[in-house]
Amino acid sequence: MADSNRLHSINTSRILRTIWLNPSISRIKVAEMLDLDRSTVTKIMQVIMDRGLVVTTGKNTEQSGVGRRQINLEINQDIGVVVGIELQDSRHSVVVTTIAGDVIHSFEGVSHGRRDGLGGIILSIVDEARRFIDASGLFLLGVGVGIPGIVDPYTGTVIRSNPFKILEPACLREEVELGCDVPVFIENDANCCCWAEIAFQREGRERNFISVLGEFRDLHRGTDKGTGLAIGLGLVVRNRVLHGDHFTAGEFRSVLAGKAPRQFKIPYEELSTLPENRPLLRRVYRELTENLAFLVNCVDFTKIVFAGDLAQYPENLKECMEQAIVGNWIYDLDRTFVIEFSKYGKQSVSIGAAGLFVEKLFAVPDIADRFQEVVGYDLYEQILGRKGR
């Protein structure tokens, strides 16, 4: 059984998350939604308001009946900013966002490195972002990082990353946190696209959805053979990103690829002509969507979001996805699903990395599973402790 301190942390985090998801909610409504005693909510509210996490936004004008007007509550949008980083083996894209996901600063750069320099690259990026943050008089809450490969996001361990030649598990999070003294979360880049939708999109949070990250990368390092299309998937079920028992959920490979070590049936030599070769791009999209349709129908995803470079080259992608889903379905039941391109475009990963941090900040600690991970109010207390040094 959890001790009283643990239960207090969980209840505080539950209250914060409820306010985060329901802006302009009253204390009475919070107590009703969480089935908590009103006095418990009042005590906790006093603490988190004293710490500046929650602010009042006036009285409820829609309240019916007599009695004192209920006070509306919202998360304080000015508590700090978050740095979101997309890191590839040859480049990086960075955003500084509010906790609502509004980008107030962004920059890109070239970064070449292997495992021994990966932590240093991230630290140099954070330093560059901090120069803007400090000059603007803002407070840095923490950092989210999205990288290609197999990642344990709970410990920040990169288990395998072919682009960075990481063949053995490396605890990147610990290394970076020691160097920048702020909380850091590390996640697979395709999964970060899911966090962008979860954290910053109020509509459709109840949908199970799949995020498809497509990026035209240099697949032949050190040569002039051009680019190819790299695909990664992020899967969201009941508002939670599915990582899998081995953290490999979302790894994509076409069933038509055969024994060749590639993602598509089409060989790299042809893929190197993308994205300029539009007829070939449309062929690739057909192969991609035919593979995705099985997964969409099997799991009953009702939203598909295409992110990254795919948003810049839509071509026939949406139509192919619609046709593939219908063609793979055997019932005559009416279904509704949404197919869209991420509004974040090429910043889907970096904004999603920031969204990952925001979701952790307003998460509820788990009593039984992953209880070692510092999230929710515990995370904010850790941040406040650093601020008070």
Is the backbone peptide bond immediately before 275 cis, with ω within 30 degrees of 0?
A: yes
End-to-end CA distance of the chain: 34
Contacts of 165 (CB under 8 A, 6+ apart): 114, 115
Q: Are strands 303-308 and 209-217 parallel, antiparallel or unpaired?
A: parallel
Quick check: 210 pLDDT over 60?
yes
Q: In what order do the strands lie in the sheet with 157-160?
A: 150-152, 157-160, 170-171
Residues facing residue 107 across a β-bridge: 94
Instruction: Give the predicted TM-score (pTM) of the model.
Output: 0.91
Q: What is the CATH number of domain 81-192+349-387?
A: 3.30.420.40
Q: Where are the domains of the chain?
A: 4-75, 81-192+349-387, 204-344
Band the pLDDT of 218: cuts 50, 70, 90: low
The alpha carbon dihedral of 24, 360, 249, 353 has a sign of positive
Band the pLDDT of 48: cuts 50, 70, 90: very high
Quick check: 4 pLDDT over 90?
no
Are the beta carbons of 332 and 295 closer than 8 angstroms? no
The alpha carbon dihedral of 289, 295, 300, 303 has a sign of negative
Quick count: other Cβ atoms within 10 Å of Cβ 115?
15
Q: Are strands 303-308 and 338-341 parallel, antiparallel or unpaired?
A: parallel
What does each C-alpha distance from 298 to 64, 80, 252, 301 come to in angstroms? Answer: 46, 41, 16, 8
Mean residue pLDDT of the chain comes to: 89
Mean per-residue pLDDT, 165-176: 93
CATH topology agreement for domains 4-75 and 81-192+349-387: no
Structure token pair of residue 128: 């560059």
1-10, 60-69, 193-202, 261-270: the lowest-pLDDT one: 60-69
| Range among 3-7, 29-33, 259-263 with highest mean pLDDT value | 29-33
Q: In this predicted model, what pLDDT tens digit does every residue of 53-85 receive, in sequence order?
A: 999 986 655 545 444 557 899 999 999 999 999
Q: What is the CATH number of domain 4-75?
A: 1.10.10.10
3-class DSSP state of 146: strand
Pick the CATH number of 204-344 from 1.10.10.60, 3.40.50.10320, 3.30.420.40, 3.40.50.300: 3.30.420.40
60 alpha carbon, distance to own chain's centre: 33
Q: How far apart are CA 187 and CA 293, in angstroms?
A: 25
